[in-house]
Every structure is written in structure tokens, then in C-alpha cells.
Amino acid sequence: MLPKYELFDHDEGFHDKHWCLKILDGELEGLVYQYDTVTFNEDKDGQGVLDFNILTVENPSDYDLTAETVTTLLGNILVDIIEEQLADIAKEKKD
């Protein structure tokens, strides 16, 4: 299950044209970060793989951002954002 999160402009963000994300609840509550590079690749079996890097803006509880459970969660949030954007685009095309 995804935690609640918000997208916003942060004065200390690394990229001016990228939103920061703040996790509002759950095991990473308070974490503020930006997705840096995001790429879609193919693994050796021909399956699509979403690769990404993050830039940490605030890590108030010194979370281990390299733990597999954390990277999986951040990847799921990224997929959620992409799916929402695609749904918005599809809705706009219908209107």
C-alpha cells in the first residue's frame, strides 16, 4: 500500500523543473526527495524495467534509502505518478 504523499516546489530542491515529494505517513514519513534520472530499460528476459535515482532533500529520521523495501516503495510511488499523469492525458484527449 502506498503512503500518502504530496508533490510541491521546495526552495532546496536540486532541479528547478522537478517537483519534490514529501511522504506524509508510513515508514518514511517526513522524507522529502526528488526523482533525478528516470529510464525505462529492458532486462535480459525482455521485460520492462523502470530505473530511477533520487536526490534527498530532507531525511529527518536518517532512513536507509538503499534498502530494497525503500527503493521498491519509491518505485511504486513513481509508477503511481506516471499512471496518474497518463490517465489525465487520456481524459484530456476524450474531452
In tens, the pLDDT along 3-59 reads 999 998 887 777 777 789 999 999 999 999 999 999 999 999 999 899 999 999 999
Q: How far apart are CA 93 and CA 71, in angstroms?
A: 33
Amino acid identity, residue 78?
L
Q: Which three cell numbers stand for residue 57?
A: 532533500
User: What pTM did the predictor assign?
Assistant: 0.85
Cβ-based neighbour number of residue 70 at 10 Å: 16
pLDDT of residue 13: 73
Asked whether the beta carbons of 3 and 23 are under 8 A apart, the reply is: yes
Backbone dihedral angles phi then psi of residue 80, each to the nearest 5 degrees:
-60, -45
Residue 78 has pLDDT above 80, yes or no: yes
